[in-house]
Amino acid sequence: LLLPLLLLLLAPRVSGGLRWPRRRWPVPYRRFDYRPKTDPYCQARYTFCPTGSSIPVMKEEDVIEVYRLQAPVWEFKYGDLLGHLKIMHDAVGFKSSLTGKNYTMEWYELFQLGNCTFPHLRPGMDAPFWCNQGAACFYEGIDDAHWKANGTLVLVTTISGAMFNDMAQWVKYDNETGIYYETWTVRASPDKKSTVWFDSYECSKFILRTYQKLADLGAVFKKIQTNYTSIILFSGEPIYLGNETSIFGPQGNKTLAAAIRDFYSPFKPHQSVREFFVDIFKIIDHVFMNHQFYLFYNLEYWFLPMKSPYLKIIYEEVPLPVGSKASFGV
């Protein structure tokens, strides 16, 4: 049960009055009109999209192969270690028949997973400070060794150049409006039919949206099994708490503000082994003993009354979308 929290604590980071709950479940992911500038405080240990490029315009008559790409998270550093736990990262690959060029497209955190999942408690600032953005990355080439060695590289469909260009326009919209990474899926219980309170918004969801867009454009997908990783919290019905201003502002709830800061404190970047293990026990006390979790979603805070089994990593099948009869493809 502690493994997901341990992994998030070890993830790269920068060093540096209650209301009634909303009744619409899951809470819809909020889209924004523009992407805000990042604060200089937020520094990634690994550069986001270092070889990224713009998406090319394909000739409409081109035939483009689409590949499903999947590899263990942090495979470049830990090899297949997290693959044994089914903690996987997803991407999509393209190959142009006219030019022979390959391309990779993926969506991930600008400042690494730890920063997207937990905030920093900065001196002189009452509210937790979040370094959280996610974005699409497109670059030429497919690193066959990376995806094949410990993961998946498999053809899922073919599309026309015109469909690719339409998809590219959608990617631009999706990338400009869906800007925050959401690590957690929150459910009422392990039952597959249980209520989903909040849905995650991470790399696999971008790939699923991309596949669906291609299906909407007419792509026909092969009938192959496709599985994706989710980190799930289990909670009773969430309680809406408010936003940064209503909780931490001049007229805010000081008791609630202190409770939220206390909850997030053990998730800070650690400077010593002793400090790390002390904070692990604090996390156990909050989440497993007192059934507490504070979730930041859509720039708002929610209280999750946690319940057994508390959290779980699952690797479940999500079928590829079905295209129309008039679709272009295999």
Active-site positions read: 89, 203
Other CB atoms closer than 10 Å to residue 240's CB: what's the count? 15
Query: Cα dist. 71→7, 103, 153, 161, 223 in Å?
Result: 17, 16, 9, 27, 20
85: nearest Cα among 215, 230, 235: 230
17/6 Cα distance (integer angstroms): 32
**What is residue 284's DSSP assignment?**
I
Stated as kind and residue range, the H or E segment containing 92 is strand 88-96
Q: Which two tokens stand for residue 200?
A: 């995650």
83/73 Cα distance (integer angstroms): 7
**What is residue 298's DSSP assignment?**
T
Q: What angle do CA 247, 197, 242 make, to 5 degrees?
A: 10
> What's the full length of the chain, in residues?
330
* DSSP β-ladder status, 292-297 and 300-317: antiparallel
